[in-house]
């Protein structure tokens, strides 16, 4: 059993090392359509990252390091910021259990998934509910995503994962009139 675990750890270290010291492809992430639904007291906002976690991310996710994805939601009216909220969703792979642990701050949920595809789908989805004031009237709702730097055991310096998004922060926005929505 110890040999199998050692082999998994060695394979992961080799994968991450190859990723960190070789050329990378990079992704061109974007968001799907931003949808909003106005409730009595809360505004629900949904969208999904697309083309964000392909190419080299398989090695990054299987590294065992906690990988944060930062979502920033802002609601503005003209030049005034009415609400700004930051959410961090995290994923960490546990080699011994073969499970991805997801902490989704956007929906306040913790998940354990064995499939990388399911994990990516959950990590890519942005959905949240925030309080709003109907008197805000016409507003612009904007969602932006970014990646943080992480520290891999094999590398002395933190690695800025934004390099995998070609240093592009995907953004999407939508305008709505809160007075007219029901």
3-state SS record for 65-79? CCEEEEEEEEEEECC
CA distance 177 to 182: 10
pLDDT number for residue 182: 53
Tens digits of per-residue pLDDT, 152-179? 887 888 999 999 999 999 999 999 998 8
Among residues 155, 140, 145, 139, the alpha carbon closest in space to that of 125 is found at: 145
pTM of the model: 0.85
Low-confidence ranges of the chain (pLDDT < 70): 1-24, 182
**Measured CA angle at 115 (ends 123, 124), to 5 deg:** 15
Q: What is the DSSP string of 5-19?
A: HHHHHHHHHHHHHHH
3-state helix, strand, coil in the chain (%, to 5): 25, 45, 35
pLDDT number for residue 178: 87
Query: End-to-end CA distance of the chain, in Å?
Result: 59
pLDDT number for residue 173: 97
pLDDT number for residue 81: 96
pLDDT number for residue 24: 65
User: Exposure string (b/e) for 54-79, b if CB count within 10 Å is 16 or more?
Assistant: eebbebbbbbbbebbbbbebbbbeee
pLDDT number for residue 114: 96
Among residues 124, 126, 125, 98, the alpha carbon closest in space to that of 112 is found at: 98
Q: How many residues does the chain have?
A: 182
pLDDT number for residue 15: 42
pLDDT number for residue 56: 87
Could you give the 3-state DSSP secondary structure of residue 163? helix
pLDDT number for residue 1: 52
CA distance 146 to 162: 7
């Amino acid at each position: 059993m110890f040999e199998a675990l050692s082999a998994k750890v060695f394979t992961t270290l080799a994968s991450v090392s190859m990723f960190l010291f070789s050329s990378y492809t990079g992704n061109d992430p974007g968001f799907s359509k931003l949808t909003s639904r106005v409730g009595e007291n809360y505004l629900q906002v949904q969208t999904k990252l697309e083309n964000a976690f392909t190419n080299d991310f398989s090695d990054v996710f299987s590294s065992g390091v906690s990988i944060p994805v930062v979502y920033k939601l802002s609601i503005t009216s003209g030049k005034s910021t009415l609400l700004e909220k930051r959410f961090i969703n995290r994923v960490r792979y546990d080699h011994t259990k073969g499970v991805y642990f997801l902490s989704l701050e956007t929906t306040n949920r913790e998940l354990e998934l064995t499939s990388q595809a399911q994990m990516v789908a959950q990590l890519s989805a942005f959905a949240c509910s925030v309080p709003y004031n109907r008197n805000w009237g016409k507003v612009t709702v904007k969602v932006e995503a970014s990646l943080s730097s992480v520290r891999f055991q094999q590398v002395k310096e933190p690695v800025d994962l934004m390099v995998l998004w070609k240093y592009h922060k995907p953004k999407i926005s939508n305008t709505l009139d809160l007075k007219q929505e029901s």
